[in-house]
């Protein structure tokens, strides 16, 4: 009897149901102390020299003053330290982890290890061997490794659900979104301060990233920001920020607009302000595509052609000597002409093709994009009428002059110098605000609900009385007009318009493939999603030009990883969250399940 009792005790102790055990067998207290000590050691190592030679970019030879990649390690190590301390229940730090305490520590420890390890490897490659590493690098690397070991020894945040089993499931559990919790209520003034501080921090982060001059620092920046963003999401802070922004929507929109307006004043290099203006063009066109793909569910693979129609129209009526028409419209008329021309082409192309669905519609729109590019290539006076100058395009497009304000020259404002690129950035920001307002009003209207109903189930929407063809044509025309609107600015910003700018895929952005990826990457049907996705897809290749030969390979790999770990996109709407995360359906009883006809009924009302 005693033997059977001992056997029962042994079996219950080693039961496979105890799947919440950590990967590394350490007591939780010791694991947290290990992670705390490791992050402190990694942080301390950043104040020592990491290499002896100034040939490595960033000057990592100074003791007592972190620089370059050291600052990134210092930042993520400090975040690891703070999030680890929040697990002790220290008053004032618990607000950091409303969605869980241990998974964010693991991700931040990986950020510290990845940033430090990459820096050590880059120093060895650039300078020629590990011998070029000074003690500071070894101290930070050892501390990052210790912090990672301690972080993975912590138990997983189960949130009342079945704990993960196996290494792969545990890693997936660390990366996926946390279960919603009850956040601590803040006073109204404090919530407004939080929103303002977050947008100010976002401006500083974007300005820092776009101002990076050498690729080693930018790669380290991507590693640190990627893991830190995932950690903040896992901690529940991003969900909390989304709730605050929804509660104070007007404050959030004003804060975002003010932060964007301040961006040109943070730049001293005109090249980076130019990248910012081009990012806004890419983002605005992606938001226009979001009307077609994200709201109406129409797969358009030739959308960049509408951008080209608007750009060519604005360029041809700009008064340039290379134009076939001897006219010069004021800018407001040129912008409206570009939007109107794209809208007309959208109706002409959509009317005979939008009765198709799915893959067939995608093939037809892809064909239209190629027809547009070949047509403007052949309108060269040899194989067709001399309208677009063929492969030479419309060149020498003059700078804009709006109410006596010449965007092509530098202007001084409150002690700051606004360059040509900064002027166009502010103009494109105004266009972006207009497109955002149009998208938001459309999405929240009866027509927007009808688009969503068609996207979810066109047959059911038609059965509820929705004229699917008419509404799909409206979405197609609106998306085309928004693209043409942005194209009118692109023509003047780039001085010229050529056919190779408007391809389905290639190394030049924006193109149809990258625009579609920006919508999917950011989150279909949302406003912030395509803006963030477009910014990432334009900024990363622009800063990593030396990897241009591997751009499409890395792009494909990134999409595979994204679809594996976050198929709803970086910023997902409520319906997508319910569709891809079934466990949240039980915690959100007021939300209709995916495929529900509730939205169809409302749209048909």
Q: Which among 259, 268, 255 is positioned nearest to 210, based on CA atoms?
A: 268
pLDDT at 586: 46
**What is the residue-averaged pLDDT of the chain?**
80
pLDDT at 88: 79
More confident site: 595 or 366: 366
Residues 508-520: tens digit of each pLDDT? 567 778 888 888 8
Residues 371-417: tens digit of each pLDDT? 888 988 888 878 778 788 888 888 888 888 887 787 888 877 777 77
Angle of helix 446-456 relative to helix 420-443, nearest 10 degrees, comes to 80
Q: Which among 581, 567, 472, 479 is positioned nearest to 520, based on CA atoms?
A: 567
pLDDT (average), residues 592-598:
41
First to last CA, the chain: 73
Domain ranges of the chain: 22-243, 269-598
Cα–Cα–Cα angle for 302, 433, 334, nearest 5°? 65
Q: Which among 435, 600, 433, 451 is positioned nearest to 525, based on CA atoms?
A: 451
- DSSP annotation string for 477-518: HHHHHHHHHHHHHHHHHSS-B-GGGS-SSSSSSS-HHHHHHH
With a cut of 90, say whether residue 40 has pLDDT above it: yes
pLDDT at 22: 55
With a cut of 50, say whether residue 602 has pLDDT above it: no
More confident site: 39 or 597: 39
pLDDT at 589: 41
Residue 380 φ then ψ, to 5°: -120, 5
- What is the C-alpha separation between 393 and 322, in angstroms, rounded? 8
More confident site: 599 or 82: 82
For 531, the token pair is 């803006």
More confident site: 21 or 197: 197
Q: Which among 152, 145, 149 is positioned nearest to 112, based on CA atoms?
A: 145
Residue 36 φ then ψ, to 5°: -65, -45
pLDDT at 121: 93
Q: The whole model's pTM is what? A: 0.78
DSSP character for 263?
A: G
Burial 156-170 (b: 16+ CB within 10 A, else e): bbeeeeebbeeeeeb
Residues 163-190: tens digit of each pLDDT? 555 554 555 555 454 544 555 566 777 8
**Would you place residue 577 in the very low, low, confident or very high pLDDT band (cuts 50, 70, 90)?**
low
With a cut of 70, say whether residue 570 has pLDDT above it: yes
Question: How do beta strands 411-413 and 405-406 pair?
Answer: unpaired
pLDDT at 2: 43
pLDDT at 3: 42
pLDDT at 1: 40
Residues 295-310: tens digit of each pLDDT? 888 888 888 889 989 9
With a cut of 90, say whether residue 42 has pLDDT above it: yes
Q: Is residue 78 helix, strand or coil? A: helix
pLDDT at 187: 74
- What is the C-alpha separation between 275 and 206, in angstroms, rounded? 12
pLDDT at 5: 41
**Would you place residue 234 in the very low, low, confident or very high pLDDT band (cuts 50, 70, 90)?**
confident
In whole angstroms, how far apart are CA 458 and each of 455, 461, 595? 6, 5, 11
Distance of CA 17 to the CA centre of its chain: 39
Residues 338-368: tens digit of each pLDDT? 999 999 988 988 888 887 777 788 888 888 8
Q: What percent of the chain has pLDDT over 70?
A: 84
Residues 95-128: tens digit of each pLDDT? 777 767 788 899 999 999 999 999 999 999 988 8
pLDDT (average), residues 528-535:
84
pLDDT at 47: 94
With a cut of 60, say whether residue 584 has pLDDT above it: no
Strand partners of residue 328: 318
Asked if residues 421 and 245 have their Cβ atoms less than 8 Å apart, the reply is no
More confident site: 287 or 507: 287
pLDDT (average), residues 128-148:
92
For 436, the token pair is 């955002």
pLDDT (average), residues 70-81:
93
Q: Is residue 117 helix, strand or coil? A: helix
State the residue for tokens 């030479």: 392
- What is the C-alpha separation between 20 and 343, in angstroms, rounded? 57
- What is the C-alpha separation between 375 and 296, in angstroms, rounded? 28
């Amino acid at each position: 009897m005693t033997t059977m009792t001992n056997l029962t005790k042994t079996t219950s102790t080693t039961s496979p149901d105890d799947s919440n055990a950590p990967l590394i067998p350490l007591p939780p207290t010791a694991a947290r102390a290990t992670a705390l000590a490791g992050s402190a050691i990694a942080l301390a190592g950043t104040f020592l020299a990491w290499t002896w030679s100034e040939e490595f970019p960033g000057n990592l030879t100074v003791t007592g003053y972190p620089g370059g990649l050291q600052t990134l390690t210092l930042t993520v190590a400090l975040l690891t330290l703070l999030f680890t301390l929040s697990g002790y229940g220290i008053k004032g730090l618990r607000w950091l982890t409303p969605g869980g305490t241990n998974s964010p520590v693991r991700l931040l420890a990986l950020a510290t290890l990845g940033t430090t390890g990459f820096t050590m490897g880059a120093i060895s490659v650039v300078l020629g061997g590990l011998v070029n590493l000074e003690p500071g690098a070894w101290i930070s690397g050892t501390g990052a490794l210790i912090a990672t070991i301690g972080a993975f020894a912590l138990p997983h945040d189960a949130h009342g659900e079945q704990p993960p089993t196996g290494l792969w499931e545990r890693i997936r559990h660390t990366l996926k979104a946390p279960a919603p919790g009850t956040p601590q209520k803040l006073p109204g003034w404090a919530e407004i301060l939080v929103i303002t501080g977050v947008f100010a921090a976002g401006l500083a982060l974007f300005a820092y990233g776009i101002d990076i001059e050498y690729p080693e620092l930018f790669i380290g920046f991507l590693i640190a920001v990627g893991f830190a963003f995932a950690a903040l999401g896992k901690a529940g802070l991003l969900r909390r920020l989304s709730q605050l922004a929804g509660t104070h929507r007007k404050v959030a929109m004003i804060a975002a607009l003010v932060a964007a307006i301040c961006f040109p004043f943070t730049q001293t290099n005109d090249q980076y302000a130019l990248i910012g203006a081009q990012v806004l063009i890419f983002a605005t066109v992606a938001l226009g595509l979001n009307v077609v793909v994200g709201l109406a569910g129409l797969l358009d693979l030739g959308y960049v052609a509408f951008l080209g129609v608007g750009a060519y129209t604005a360029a041809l009526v700009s008064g340039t000597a290379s134009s076939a028409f001897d006219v010069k419209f004021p800018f407001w008329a040129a912008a409206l002409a570009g939007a109107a021309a794209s809208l007309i082409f959208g109706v002409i192309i959509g009317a005979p093709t939008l009765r198709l669905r799915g893959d067939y519609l995608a093939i037809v729109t892809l064909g239209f994009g190629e027809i547009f590019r070949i047509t403007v290539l052949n309108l060269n006076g040899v194989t067709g009428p001399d309208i677009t100058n063929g492969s030479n395009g419309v060149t020498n497009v003059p700078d804009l002059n709006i109410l006596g304000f010449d965007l092509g020259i530098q202007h001084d404002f409150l002690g700051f110098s606004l360059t040509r690129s900064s002027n166009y950035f502010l103009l494109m920001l105004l266009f972006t605000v207009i497109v955002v307002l149009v998208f938001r009003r459309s999405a929240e209207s009866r027509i927007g609900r009808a688009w969503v109903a068609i996207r979810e189930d066109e047959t059911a929407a038609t059965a509820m009385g929705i004229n699917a063809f008419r509404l799909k044509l409206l979405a197609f025309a609106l998306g085309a007009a928004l693209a043409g609107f942005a194209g009118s600015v692109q023509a003047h910003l780039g001085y010229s318009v050529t056919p190779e700018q408007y391809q389905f895929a290639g190394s030049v952005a924006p193109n149809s493939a990258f625009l579609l990826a920006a919508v999917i990457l950011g989150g279909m049907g949302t406003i912030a999603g395509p803006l963030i996705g477009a910014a990432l897809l334009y900024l990363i290749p622009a800063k990593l030009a030396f990897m241009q030969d591997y751009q499409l390979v890395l792009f494909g790999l990134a999409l595979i990883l994204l679809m594996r770990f976050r198929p709803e996109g970086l910023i997902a709407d409520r319906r997508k969250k319910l569709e891809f995360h079934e466990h949240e359906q039980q915690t959100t009883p007021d939300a209709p399940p995916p495929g529900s006809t509730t939205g169809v009924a409302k749209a048909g009302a």
